[in-house]
Amino acid sequence: MARKSLAEKPIPGTIMFDGKMAQKGYALNKMCYSFNEAANRDEFQRDEDAYCTKYGLNDEQRAAIKHRNVLELLEAGGNIYYLAKFAGIFGLGVQDVGAQQTGMSVDEFKAKLLAAGE
Amino acid sequence: MAKIIGGLSTSHIPAIGNAISREMFEDEYWKPFFDGYPPAQQWLEKTKPDIAVVIYNDHGLNFFLDKLPTFAVGAAPEYTNVDEGWGLEPLPPYPGDPDLSWHMIESLVEDEFDITSCQEMHVDHAFTVPMSLFWPDRSKRPVKTVPVVVNTVQHPLPKPARCLAFGQAIGRAIESYDSDETVVIIGTGGLSHQLDGTRAGFINKDFDMMCMEKIVSDPEALAKYSIHDIVELAGAQGAELINWIVMRGALTGKVSEVHRNYHIPISNTAAGMMVLENQA
């Protein structure tokens, strides 16, 4: 018998990037993977819409890219390691991304991390 | 035969790479982190291993979701580090050791670990940051390397019990390699952290402390967790703990702890490092 899938025992605030999400987000993640190369980051910045079309993003993914919204990007199948390359285009690090997802200011998010060490 | 002298583990947070480039060793934020490393560097100067086998996870530099191995072993003459997209300065290549790589590949498959072999491989920050921390002169390459990549990107990830067994198979492979060279095993990543979702910023000091104890005295206890347990207890990216478990598996049954450091936070992560010495 197949073991119970991870998706059947959700952890609050956590999206398991499993086969279902990997299929859903394939085009989005493939586009973000391309951002390893500077020439591709430049091409995206010159014409975002055209670049999203080139990688075949669906409407949900295009909207999430337009909104620069990490939770929407995750919901659309984005994987955080590839999304980090998208965020990097705008000079955003993981603390900016963490703050955005938790609805905190970056300073509040940093304070939360510091508090975890006490 | 080749001899494994011990194991090192460390977090591999990208921000560390930038902090090293900017030499922020005495900076108030960074000092409690960097102060943990001189004892490891001194241990390496004393023991002078010839080869480092580095267990880490690729974050979308070498592997994409089109072809994503669960376990992969590098078999290249050298490993290149290139742009990861968010501003870390690429470092010069690292020398490989194809003879040891192919011995490991043959031994692992004989041992029923059907790994993916890679004759070309880019190594990302999860490989380069630990190398820079342990061998701080980044212009020199004092050891040959064999990268071993574990999937922590896409579920299902390999079970902790399987990771411990994989590490044990790596240990058997190295210790059956016809050479008088010495080897250090490095496991990178962790400890608790989560980057994605509304639980971003999750850190679990108690769980990390327990893991650092058990990695020395009772790795079987860590192997009993499921991946789901580890994601819940250590955060989504805290699952990188499995790289530490592979490292520990490659060591002998008994190890002695030479040094450890633990500091919260570096970036979004509880940063941990350990130096373990093999007991005969």
Domain map (residue ranges) of chain B:
3-278
For residue range A41-89, what is the model confidence (pLDDT) as tens digits? Answer: 999 999 999 999 999 999 999 999 999 999 999 999 999 999 999 999 9
Predicted ipTM of the assembly:
0.95
**Any idea what the Cα angle at residue A109 is, between residues A14 and A99, rounded to 5°?**
60
Containing domain of residue A51, as a range?
18-90
CA distances from B243 to A22, B51, B188, B273 (A): 22, 18, 6, 13
Q: According to the model, what pLDDT value does residue B36 have?
A: 97
pLDDT band at B28 (very low <50, low <70, confident <90, very high): very high
Interface test with chain A among B86, B154, B205, by most A beta carbons within 10 Å: B86
Question: In Å, how far is B77's CA from the nearest CA of chain A?
Answer: 23
Strands B78-79 and B94-95: antiparallel
Q: Which of B60, B197, B204 lies closest to A13 in CB terms? A: B197
User: A94 contacts in B (CB within 8 Å)?
Assistant: 195, 267-268
Give the residue numbers in B contacting A (CB under 8 Å), as ranges: 15, 59-61, 64-66, 82-87, 153-156, 194-205, 227-228, 231-232, 236-237, 263-265, 267-268, 270
Q: According to the model, what pLDDT value does residue A118 have?
A: 86
Q: Is the pLDDT of residue B130 over 80?
A: yes
The answer to whether residue B122 is catalytic is no
Task: Return the SS3 of A88.
Answer: helix
Q: Which residue of A has its CA nearest to B84?
A: A36
Q: Is the pLDDT of residue A1 over 90?
A: no
Residue A19 to residue B60, Cβ atoms within 8 A: no
Q: Is residue A29 situated within a structural domain?
A: yes
Which among B12, B122, B125, B263 is annotated as catalytic? B125
Which among B12, B59, B122, B193 is annotated as catalytic? B193
Phi-psi region of A56 (alpha: psi -120 to 50; beta: other; left: phi over 0): left
Q: According to the model, what pLDDT value does residue B86 have?
A: 87
Report which DSSP code applies to B96: B
Q: According to the model, what pLDDT value does residue B45 have?
A: 97
pLDDT band at B87 (very low <50, low <70, confident <90, very high): confident
Q: Is the pLDDT of residue A4 over 90?
A: no
Residue A11 to residue B267, Cβ atoms within 8 A: no
The answer to whether residue B59 is catalytic is no
Phi-psi region of B9 (alpha: psi -120 to 50; beta: other; left: phi over 0): beta
- d(CA B169, CA B165) in angstroms, rounded, equals 6
Q: Which of A26, A38, A80 lies closest to B195 in CB terms? A: A80
Q: Which of A74, A112, A113 lies closest to B197 in CB terms? A: A74
Q: Which of B64, B201, B227 lies closest to A113 in CB terms? A: B201
Other Cβ atoms closer than 10 A to B272: 25
Q: According to the model, what pLDDT value does residue A9 have?
A: 86
Residue A109 to residue B227, Cβ atoms within 8 A: no
What is the arithmetic mean of pLDDT over B104-130?
Answer: 98
B3-278 CATH choice from 3.30.70.560, 3.40.640.10, 3.40.830.10, 3.40.50.300: 3.40.830.10
Residue showing tokens 């240990």: B171
Q: Which of B85, B231, B236 lies closest to A36 in CB terms? A: B85
Question: In Å, how far is B95's CA from the nearest CA of chain A?
Answer: 23
For residue range B58-78, what is the model confidence (pLDDT) as tens digits? Answer: 999 999 999 999 999 999 999
pLDDT band at A2 (very low <50, low <70, confident <90, very high): very low
pLDDT band at B88 (very low <50, low <70, confident <90, very high): confident
Q: Is residue A71 situated within a structural domain?
A: yes
Residue A35 to residue B270, Cβ atoms within 8 A: no
Q: According to the model, what pLDDT value does residue A5 have?
A: 58
The pTM for the full model equals 0.97
What is the arithmetic mean of pLDDT over B26-55?
Answer: 98
Q: Is the pLDDT of residue A102 over 70?
A: yes
Question: Domain of A55: which CATH number?
Answer: 1.10.700.10
Q: Is residue A7 situated within a structural domain?
A: no
Residue A98 to residue B59, Cβ atoms within 8 A: no
Question: In Å, how far is A21's CA from the nearest CA of chain B?
Answer: 9
Q: Is the pLDDT of residue A3 over 80?
A: no
Q: Give chain A's domain count.
A: 1
Q: In B154-215, which ranges are E strands?
A: 182-188
Q: According to the model, what pLDDT value does residue A6 have?
A: 60
Phi-psi region of A103 (alpha: psi -120 to 50; beta: other; left: phi over 0): left
Q: Is residue A33 situated within a structural domain?
A: yes
User: A87 contacts in B (CB within 8 Å)?
Assistant: 86
Other Cβ atoms closer than 10 A to B29: 11
- d(CA B2, CA B100) in angstroms, rounded, equals 10
User: A8 contacts in B (CB within 8 Å)?
Assistant: none
Q: Is residue A10 situated within a structural domain?
A: no
Q: Is residue A116 situated within a structural domain?
A: no
